[in-house]
Every structure is written in structure tokens, then in C-alpha cells.
Amino acid sequence: MNESGNLGGTLFQPNYRPRVVDSRLSTLLKAFGGVEIVGPKWCGKTWTALSQSRSADRLDDSATFAAAQTDPALVLMGEEPHLVDEWQDVPQIWDAARRHIDDNANRKGQLILTGSAIPKDSEAIHHSGTGRIARVRMWPMSLAESGDSTGAISLSGLFEGKFHPAERETSIEDIARWCCRGGWPANLGLDDEFALEIPGEYIKSVLDISVPKMNRSAGTARALMRALAVNISQAPKYTTLAADMAYGDERREPDTQTVKSYMEMLKDLYLLADLEGWEPPLRAKSRVRTKPKRYFVDPSLPAAVLGASPATLMRDTQTLGDLFETLCIRDLNVYLSSMPGAGNRITYYRDDKGLEVDAVIELSDGRWGAIEIKLSDLKVTDENANKLISFRHKICGNPLAQVREPEFMMFLTGRGNKAYRRNDGILVVPIATLGA
């Protein structure tokens, strides 16, 4: 039932490829009694947890599952840090873990929990774990983690004013491949013929296993995933999604509450991430009124739902551009996850005059940066640069608002070969040069 540490001290897997979140996990283990790693299935949570665990219990083992149901404390014993993998299958483990940490004087680094879904029976959990169990979110692999980005340009470095020109040739074909392959550790080293099968199998697994386990209809979930894929990187209303789910047949339209309920289910499975609207100062009403943009956690998921391939995307650059934006939001989230601060976040900006910025990264200490995402460096024009400059003037131009200047403004591009600083100070960075 219990896996003990190997000769190296931890359960580190020989073929483990380091992840950006490794350092953050290590830091949190020194600050809290336990750390929960959450994220979608297949993104690598277990191997990341094993790399810093000395013993483990896995709930996908039938004997371990039975023991946990009998007494959750039985799966919390082992050399520390002790991993409990997929704890959400027995929700009572959470309160038992909190008690276990308290009983050991909140000693740091006792437990690592991994979860690929919000527990269905959340009512079985009575305590939040605040102060005892920290949380870190994992995403599918970024381009830097998979080896497709050089990582020469550091996102955290940009917030420190560090930037040096870099080169990495990237084509539209590269972007199409990366969007369809996705950031799944299982496809590392695989030829496209085989790697492109994985996202489709992921969708099938969600619909055949995960959705029924949550007592929901696979057909309705499939229709919503397709509607979200059609509206990828947009801020669709529930009524828009309902109409798209019905394929134009009003008699088949689900009600708003059904759409909302299934949307929450996909979020509970960590398949979706909302990008909220940003507007300083903190209490601005527009921050609340702006509808969130909906993103899948990996571009390969909407690509698989739409039946897209690299070849078809090469002929449909509109869809490819939307998938590329999803890829960028994934990578930015990955790189941001390594930075200290619980309040760090990615948002977007849109005002009532039509001025829009694709991503605003805001750190908990108040520093921020603005990013425009472009499929090709050919779209990096003076006209588009002026939009970023206008945005900065609007946000920072009112001295009464006391909004600090951005640490950087940047075009994040797909096709391109050089990372450089324009004469107006705006950075141009190909995604294949960006890293943590």
C-alpha cells in the first residue's frame, strides 16, 4: 500500500523532466505542514510530488482506497514528506490531514496531497486547511518545460528590469504543431503521429469516466466543450453557449442554470481557467462588470474537440490565432506559478471604447506588465504598439489614481525569430524564447 523512499531519499522517477513549479513546491514545504497540488489529469502532478516525497499512498490502488475509506489516517503515515495521490476520491482525507498536521505541532513539510478534481462530496470537508495546507496549481507543460522554448527571456526577470535580446526561429507550422500536441508529459519524445492521439483520448477519458463520476451527462458536457471551443479565448454569455450547444435548434437549448452548472463542473476538473477583467484601482466597478474570458488549460483540448490538425490550422489562421492565445495563457500561468506571492494573477483589459489588452500580469506587490498576443511578428506594427501606449497613458496618466508605471509592455508572438526592444520601449518576444 505504502511506497517508501528510494536510496536517494525521495521517490524521484528516473525519467522525470523538471517542472517550473518544483521550486515553488519546495518553498511551500518549508513554510507549511502540507501542500496540495491541483491540476488536470495527465499534467504530471504525481511525478512532481514524488520528486519531493519520501513515501506515498495512491488512492488508485484498490487496497489503499479501501483502507482510506475505513480510516483516512491510515494513508497519512510514512516517511515525510508523505504523498497522498488523488486524495479527492476520499474527501474525509482532507480533515484527517489537517488533524494530522496539527497533532504534529504543524511541523513543516509533513504531507503532499494531489488532486485532479474538486471532491464531489465537498460537504464531507469541515475545515479549510488555512495555515496548515498551502495550494499550488499545476498546468500542462509549457514550451520551456517541454524543451520547445529556449527560456532565454525570463518572465520574472522582466519584472526586475532584466532583458537581453535573444534568437529562436519559429514558424507558423511550429505553432500549429504545439497547439495540437499540447503540453502533456506523456507525448514527450513521440512523433506527431502518436502525440496527436493523446488530446483526443484525454477528451474521451473526461467524457467516459470523469463526467459520469460526477453524475452528469457526457452528451451535455461534450456539447458545452464544443461551444467553448467555438468561442475560444472569448467572453461568451451563458445564452451564447446555450445556443451553440443546441446547434441552432432552439428546442435543444439548455437553460442558463444547466450551462452554468456544467461550466462549474469543467472548472472542478481543472479543464477551464477564467481570465477576469482588470482595471485599477482595486475597487473599480468595471473590474466586477467585465465578463471573464474562457480558456481551456491547454490548446490541444479545444483543438481535439474541433477535430483540428496542424494541416487544417495552417489554412485557418483565425482559429490557430485563438489556439495560440490559449497556449500563451497556459505558459504565462506556468511561469507565474514559480514566482512568490499568493496574490499574483493574470487578467485582461477591455474598456467601453474598445481598447483591449490580451493579458495583464499583476503581482501581489503591485508591480504589473501588459502583454499583447500576436500569432506572427508581422502583426507587430506601430499602430498596434500605439494601442499599448494609449492603454498605459489611460491607466497611469491620472495622478489622482496613483497607478504605477508598468514594469514592461510586450508583444508575445508566435512566428518570429528575434526577441528585441523597440525604439518605443515595447518588447517583442517570441513565445519560443520565453521562460520562468
pLDDT reported for residue 283: 46
- Is pLDDT at 397 greater than 90 in this prediction? no
pLDDT reported for residue 247: 75
d(C-alpha 35, C-alpha 25), whole Å: 7
Terminal CA-CA length for the chain:
37
Which sequence spans correspond to the domains of the chain?
Answer: 2-137, 143-435
d(C-alpha 305, C-alpha 405), whole Å: 41
Q: Indicate the SS3 state at residue 228.
A: helix
pLDDT reported for residue 399: 72
d(C-alpha 45, C-alpha 63), whole Å: 22
Could you give the strand order of the β-sheet that contains 2-4, starting from the edge strand earlier in sequence? 2-4, 55-58, 82-85, 111-115, 34-38, 133-137
d(C-alpha 269, C-alpha 228), whole Å: 15
pLDDT reported for residue 150: 98
Q: Give the residue with greater pLDDT, 233 vs 138.
A: 138
Query: How crowded is residue 71: how many other Cβ atoms within 10 Å of its Cβ?
Result: 11
pLDDT reported for residue 353: 84
pLDDT reported for residue 7: 45
Average pLDDT for 114-128: 79
- pLDDT tens digits for 54-69? 999 999 999 999 999 9
- pLDDT tens digits for 153-196? 999 999 999 999 999 999 999 999 999 999 999 999 999 999 99
pLDDT reported for residue 34: 97
Is the CATH number 3.40.50 carried by domain 2-137?
A: yes
- Is pLDDT at 273 greater than 70 in this prediction? yes
